[in-house]
């Protein structure tokens, strides 16, 4: 039974949605704000997150980015009354898989949830087993990537966790410094050709790496119409 985490501050809407999903056979957990949502997410990884955009305190964009940094695969569907293109793009750039207007019909919402769960399941079946360590350290600008401990360390010695796949992407780009690397080449390297998703997952991973690298993130340049290039 798939479990869905609903993060929504409007109680009547949240509870109605939870009842609808429970009637469809889903296990449901509820959180009334971003902080509760992150705590519930950390306590137990759900199969899918329905995340409100406009919440007091931490809004949905911030919560989405933090969840995505912890788990690159869990489907996150953002729910909102705001449907302007800029808002949709902002949500997708934070790592959301879909952006759904709250006025959408129940049948369409359930269909989009089902699609997201099937896609995530297909990807999970094709993922290679991650190795616990990824070898020696290497530099990305002023940052050192510790492939053994899985940390990104800045010039002041401050550490932040980095995921195995992020290490692989950085190493792949650094070893080909100055070259244009296509998204398809990265997918082939990361999943050995066994991947059922789209190249958007690569774009999201690169966006998260740029965020973690700060100023050094600019060294990962976008090559329009091609992919990415590491420029020392």
Give the chain's domains with CATH numbers. Answer: 3-126 (3.40.50.2300), 138-230 (1.10.10.10)
Average pLDDT over residues 157-183: 90
CA-based torsion, 63, 220, 232, 187: positive or negative: positive
Looking at residue 32, what is its pLDDT?
95
pTM beyond cutoff 0.85? no
Which pLDDT band holds residue 188 (cuts at 50, 70, 90)? confident
pLDDT band for position 218 (50/70/90)?
very high
Q: What is the mean pLDDT of the chain?
A: 85
Q: How do the residues of the chain divide into helix, strand and coil, expressed in percent and rounded to 5? A: 45, 20, 35
Q: Which CA distances in Å does 205 have to 10, 61, 65, 137, 149?
A: 31, 16, 11, 20, 19
Which is higher by pLDDT, 194 or 4?
4
**Of the candidate ranges 22-26, 121-125, 153-157, the one whose mean pLDDT is the lowest:** 121-125
Closest CA to 78 of 104, 56, 96, 103: 96
- The number of beta carbons lying within 10 Å of the beta carbon of residue 146 is 18
- In tens, the pLDDT along 33-74 reads 999 999 999 888 899 999 998 898 888 888 998 888 777 778
| pLDDT of the residue at 160 | 86
What are 49's strand-pairing partners?
A: 5, 76
Instruction: Report the alpha-carbon distance of residue 88 to residue 73 in Å, rounded.
Output: 19
pLDDT in tens, 97-135: 888 888 889 999 999 999 989 887 766 655 544 444 455
């Amino acid at each position: 039974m798939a479990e869905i985490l609903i993060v929504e501050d409007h109680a009547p809407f949240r509870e109605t949605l939870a009842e609808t999903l429970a009637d469809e056979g889903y296990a449901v957990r509820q959180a009334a704000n971003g902080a509760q949502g992150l705590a519930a997410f950390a306590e137990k990884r759900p199969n899918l997150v329905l995340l409100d955009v406009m919440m007091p305190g931490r809004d949905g964009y911030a919560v989405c980015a933090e969840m995505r940094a912890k788990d690159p695969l869990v489907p996150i569907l953002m729910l909102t009354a705001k449907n302007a293109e800029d808002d949709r793009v902002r949500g997708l750039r934070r790592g959301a898989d879909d952006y759904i207007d709250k006025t959408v019909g129940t049948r369409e919402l359930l269909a989009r949830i089902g699609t997201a769960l099937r896609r995530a399941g297909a990807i999970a079946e094709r993922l290679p087993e991650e190795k616990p360590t990824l070898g020696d350290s290497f530099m990305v600008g002023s940052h050192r990537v510790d492939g053994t401990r899985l940390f990104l360390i800045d010039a002041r010695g401050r550490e932040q966790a980095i995921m195995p796949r992020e290490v692989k992407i950085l190493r792949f780009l650094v070893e080909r410094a100055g070259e244009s690397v296509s998204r398809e080449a990265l997918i082939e390297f990361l999943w050995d050709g066994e991947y059922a998703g789209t190249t958007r997952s690569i774009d999201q991973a690169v966006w998260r790496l740029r965020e973690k690298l700060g100023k050094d993130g600019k060294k990962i340049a976008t090559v329009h119409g091609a992919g990415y290039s590491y420029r020392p």
